[in-house]
Each structure stands twice: as structure tokens, then as C-alpha cells.
Structure 1
């Protein structure tokens, strides 16, 4: 508590003086024109929707305790007309454009720079010269390509109405382009921060380019009745001694076999060895710190020259040549030099980028590799997991989220819950009721319009699993997975494991029931 109050005291002592500067007020106002813009009062945000009309409004908010300002990626005809009661068509009519915002927030500052540089090189590969770059104020960077750079229509679709689908695809495409550039840059760097990446190495899945999970199959046998049992565990995981259900004496381990599995592709190295690269590779997306979930309707990001609550540094704008040698100390709010974050792009400058990204995405969906199980001759595809909904055992983390009361991270919590229930093939109406009940427990609760937009997006996409337990999504909302949960990769695998275990016990109990004696 002492540390938090010290940070709050420090930034509030700086904020009033800093935001009183006319050049800072003007820089924030100019960028935020026609954007939804709200103040943050250290821990809580101001009311939505809101926007600025005059420079001195920024200073007036600071005098009331505002520490930073946040604005939308979307550009509106009139931001004050935004309402959670609007449907998708009404939102489209109100929207006048959107910028492509790439949010890089790596755990380590130096690798955020490398990630930003790799993204910039990928953009330049597509002949984009006008790129906006700014420091986030903490460990990351924001890169922006203005709405003006994109074509107004493409493939018989109006670009303005393709938010957030098209910018999400572009971000995913840029991640793929940046991957080899960043890998090379990081592997050439043997500095102190390289040690932090040791847990981000492993065997790569050739199908999706993500890291595979290292597992082993353990084979047990009862030395008395010769009954056998096999199960899979994580490579480094220890397992509890198991007893033979017939003899009730401990099983003995007779062998074990290591293998690799890619959960998103539902492939493993025992049946598809050609799919797993034999060399150690880095999970580059972890290093990039890119999260396409952040490209979402009404998502807000820190405005240029806004302060950051954790560091009291300014979100300063950088020229490309300044990025490589930039250090956080260069963002001292007392020494900022005002620059334009939104570059003067050429009309249609990003057309080639958008065309290539959409072609890449279409090709990826159409030509996505499928593998055939030689034993069963069935295509391996990701499918929703079907379990008896009356026997679902919620993981402790999910139970904790469902209790509500979340102040920060409600959108991340919603993302976890929706993908958890959807992956278990729960009917959409039941998911909606559960989410609505959960949302009522949060103070403040999420707007109904935001939840509806996320449901619309979810129903139009293929089901995806909730984030793995080792991701920051849980810690960011104050949820710490239990040791029992960490035996599984994510909440869905935990639930399935518990469900199958329960089925196994029920079957064993059924087999133990004495059979009726035959009458003579």
C-alpha cells in the first residue's frame, strides 16, 4: 500500500503542472479530435462517452485529479452520440474511420524496442513510409498507421465497416512477417535480458509456428495381476503413486516415452513427427507482446503526451531514428518536445499491406494443413469439447472470476469466461445468462453494448480456447491459478481432466458392484 500511495502522490504532484502547459494541452487535443476521449483518475476512469473541444479542458480535468487521458482507435462523426444501446449498423453509421494501432507491451523494455523495430521493418516492406511511433510510458510502444492510408473499399466491402476484423487480420499478418526478423535479432543478442527468455524456448509446431507442449507417456503395470495403465503428464511433472484397482497394490513404472503436442492443432509427435521442428525455437509471440484482443470495438489507449501512472513518465512521440537508442529517462515530462504522433500519410499508402494481409488470411483458412490419423483415418481438427454440463467442475480460477467484484481487467475476465464456456459447447443463451449474472456483480459493470459486441464477434469466429494458465491474463486481474490447476494447460483442459476422472471413477464403482448370482 505504501508503494501505491507513493506512486499516486508522485504523479498527482506532477500532473497539474505538466498538463498546465499549453503545448501539451494542444498536442493531446489535436490528436483526440473526433475520438472518444476520457480521463483516468489514477485508479478509475471518467464517464463514457466523452471528448474534448478546448485545450483548457485537459488542465481542468487535471485539477480535479486526472492523471492520464485515453482515446479510441476509432474515429467518430460525433463521439458523444456513442451509446451501448446502438446496434452494429448504427455504430457503422456513426464511425467515420479507424486507425491501425499496434500495441507492443513486452515484459522487458529492450525487447519491446526490438519488437517495435521488427514491426516497422515489416511495414516498410510494404512500402509504408509514414509510421507514427510513441513510447507507452512504461515498457512498451504504440505504432500507428492512419485511416487515410487505407483504401476506402476493397473486395466489394467498405473498409470503414470492417472494424475490428480487418485491423486484427493485419496485426496477425504483421506478427508473421516480423517473426523471423525478431528471432534473428534476439538470438544474436546474448545480453543480460536474454536469460529471461529461457522459459520461452521449445519445439516449434510447423503448422501454426507456436511452441509445442513437452509431455511424456507413463506406462504402469501391476506386478501381481499384470494389469496396465497409461497416462500423459508434462515432462517435468511428478505424479502420485497409483494403486491397482484390482489388487490395491502400487503400480510399477515399466516405461515412459517423451513426445510433443500442439493443442491448437490437435497434433502430436507420435503420429505426426514431421510436424515438429527438431531444433529449439523461441515463442516469438510471447516476446512481441502483441495481443489482437486489444483491437476491439471502443478500445482505448493512452494518448500521446499523457502521463503513465506507474512511472510518471510521458507517452512521448519518437522519430524512427530515435527508437533504437531511446531510454525511459528520455520521457521525463519536464523535458518533452512536442511532435505529431499521427503522420501525414499518402492516400491509400497501406493498400498493398491490407491486400496482402487479407490474401494471407484467406489462404491460411483455405489451405490450413490437415493431418490424417493413420489408425483411424480421421482428420484432426480443433472442435469444441463436449462434456455433461451438469457434471462440469469449474476450475478455481473460473470460480473466482464468477464471484465478480472485479474493478480492473473486466474485459480480460470476459474474454476468459466467454472462450471457456464456448469451448465446452455450452448453449449460447446459457453463456449469455451466466455472463449477465457475473457482470451485475462487478462495480462498475461492463456496458451491455460491449458485451453484445463481443458475443457477436465470438459467434462469427471459430471457437478458441481460453488463455493458458502461464499467460498474464490471470495475474492481471488478480487471479492466481492453484497448483492443482497448473497440472493442466488451461481451464478447459482442467475441466475435461476432472470430467474424465469422474467418469473413470464411476465406471470403476460400477464394476465393483457384486454381480447377481445365477440361480441353479
Structure 2
């Protein structure tokens, strides 16, 4: 169905406006996003944007007193002052079948914590989005106003639920490492993160991101999300006051009992100020730079940013290299997502990417193709440093 015809539907417009209330709402035009901050106030905003080429609409997890006062580089205190509350959005990222199974298990875990009002929607492609509505949140958590605990409360809840369902997921997916197949994407749990609004279309699949009855997850089929098949509306932002109390109490209690990592003396690395030539990159990084043909782009981006920062690349070089890499992926990541990750990492101290033995990265991304030097190193950065030193020819005196 043509996007204009779909977004011309009054019922679709009403659902998108309803979901966008008190939230930052941003329009996507093919491969780029519209200006930020922005809002959607009226039904007519949807159709007008679509006529200008809009393909989808995205909203924040956070609710704001005035979304138009948001701006880049705001401090935590400034964001806390503007934020009134938030929804706990869990982004289930994996292949379609694994995502359905993982979503079903999380729903069962939420029901175990006496949460029965659970919003679930199809992402529009392969994953699922679970919503524990702001309506269910307590006013405080451990004597701290709940609206100040973002993104910490969502991250802790996601990690707790992931740990809770892990043994069941191992059994159902028949793998000792189920989160290599499906994951709760924690990279996305961050300030001003946007996700696809309910009933918005997905650019790649052409399907609608429709809410689903929680009892129907395991039988849901993608055909139900074809625009012409969207006829009934399932509530997504539902809940009773303080319904999520038990979940948050248990999650924070679990988190407080996690073993604290001992501070180990950090090995001092000589800072690299001159960028290492790409010819000296390890095979895994060179494979990633060819572009990914399947899932894993966000993990690959995490690897590349840390690798480049650790091998002498400055901000502009880094951005240029990532832009070229993104064009080669089977489906490019949104430009604003890459920029958001760059902004976040820019303020952080350089750290190496995950070590070679981390199966969730190089092996799972199918880019681990070791050569003779690989057996001597533990991290891709070590490889690049060693190889660049090997190639240096000492000057004769």
C-alpha cells in the first residue's frame, strides 16, 4: 500500500497522535530523519509530513513537560528537569522466531510480577517492542523520584528480566548462548532514544508496527502487519497505578546483590596519536568494514567506534569512515543513530573494543577469520599496533 494512502486513514492518524502526546516525535524521510526536537500535535501533521516524503514516525521513551525545549548536549540535570516520566520499552532484537519466543517469556516474567497490562507490538521487521507503561510506575524507587531514574531503572529492569528468562530461553532456542540469537537491545536504552511509533510503517519491510494481544505472540504472523490488514486497534500504553511496583523492587534488589567488580590496576597503554593505516587492521575489522550482510550492525558499530578511537582516529576521520562503512551494510543504520553513538563515545575515555574471545561479537558476526598473528593477540587493537610496528623499518645511522 502507498504510504500516503495508509497515513491518510483517520484512524491511523489518531493512533499516532495519541502515542505522541508529551513526547518528542520525529519524522523519518527514507534514509534520514527530520529536525529535532519536534512534536506531533494534530492528525493533519501526519498526512502533511507524508506528502513531503515522510515514511515513518518515531517517538521518545521519555515524556517531557515541553519537548521543544530539548537540545543537543543537555546535562543530566537539565534532562531530569524536563522529563516528567517514561515508559519502560524493551526492544527485542533478533530473528523473527527467536524474538517471538523471547517476547513470550518476558511477558510470562512480567505476569509473574503481577503486571497484567502489558503492551506488545511488532517492530515492523523482525523484532518486538514490549511496553510497561508509565501509568504503572511508582512515584519513587528506593526514595528517589522515579522520573529521575532514567535510563538506570530501564537498564536494571531489562538486565533482571534477561537473567530471569535465560534458562528457559536456553531450553527453547536449544543453544547455550541464547542472547547471541536474540537480545534486549540495551544500547537503545538511553536519553532521547527514539523508537517506531505504534502503527507506523517500516521502510524495509513495508509492514506496520502494530500492537498485538499479549496472548497471541506465538501465533502472530507478519501478514497481519500488512497495511491493508490493519483494521483493529490493540491498546499499547496500558496499566494500573503502581502495577509495576513489585517488578522494580525485585529488579533493584537483584541489582544491589550483584558482585561488585574489584578495581584492578589498569594497564597503562601508550596513547596512539597518529592513526594506524587500514592495511594493518586485523582480519575481523577488515571484514566488518566490507559491510554486514545480516543482523549485528549495532554491535559492529560499537566495535568500530572503540577500535578507531584506540588507533589514533580523530572525530572527523571517525565519522567519515563510519559513514562509508554504513553505506555498505545490507541496510544502513539511521544517520542520527550513528551520530548519537559518536556523541556519547566522544565524552568517554577511549577503551579497546571487546576482546577476540567474546563470542557475542566477532564469532557471532561471522567476521572472525584469524591469520597467524591473531593467535598472539587478545584484542583487535593489539593486532593493529603489533603489525604497524612490524612494518616499520629502522633508519640506518
Q: Structure 2 length as normaliser, TM-score?
A: 0.78
Deviations 1:79-111 (A, max 9, x none): 1111014222111111111111111121x3111
Tell me how far 1:342 sits from its aligned partner. 3.0
Residue 201 of structure 2 is aligned to residue 307 of structure 1:
yes
Change (3 A) 1:485 1:157: farther
Contact residue 36 and residue 50 of structure 1 kept, 8 A: yes
The structure whose Rg is larger is: 1
Q: Tell me the residue number matched to 2:129.
A: 142
Deviations 1:255-308 (A, max 9, x none): xxxxxxxxxxxxxxxxxxxxxxxxxxx111122232211101111111111111
Tell me how far 1:450 sits from its aligned partner. 7.1
Q: Tell me the residue number matched to 1:58.
A: 46
User: Aligned pair count?
Assistant: 369
Q: Tell me the residue number matched to 1:122.
A: 109
Contact residue 134 and residue 141 of structure 1 kept, 8 A: yes
Counterpart selection for 1:42 from 30, 49, 52: 30
SS in 2 for 1:339: coil
SS in 2 for 1:122: helix
Tell me how far 1:128 sits from its aligned partner. 0.9
User: Matched residues in 2 for 1:486 and 1:344: separation?
Assistant: 56
User: Matched residues in 2 for 1:144 and 1:119: separation?
Assistant: 11
Contact residue 111 and residue 287 of structure 1 kept, 8 A: yes
Contact residue 122 and residue 177 of structure 1 kept, 8 A: yes
Counterpart selection for 2:9 from 21, 32, 35: 21
Contact residue 416 and residue 467 of structure 1 kept, 8 A: no
Counterpart selection for 1:105 from 93, 101, 108: 93
Deviations 1:108-160 (A, max 9, x none): 31111101001111111111111000111111111000112122222232221
Counterpart selection for 1:283 from 150, 171, 177: 177
Tell me how far 1:470 sits from its aligned partner. 6.7
SS in 2 for 1:321: helix
Residue 230 of structure 2 is aligned to residue 342 of structure 1:
no
Counterpart selection for 1:416 from 290, 303, 327: 303
Q: Structure 1 length as normaliser, TM-score?
A: 0.61
When the two chains are superposed, the root-mean-square deviation of aligned CA atoms in Å is 4.0
Deviations 1:360-382 (A, max 9, x none): 1121134x6x8xxxxxxxxxx77
Deviations 1:338-361 (A, max 9, x none): 424434311111122112111211
Tell me how far 1:415 sits from its aligned partner. 3.8
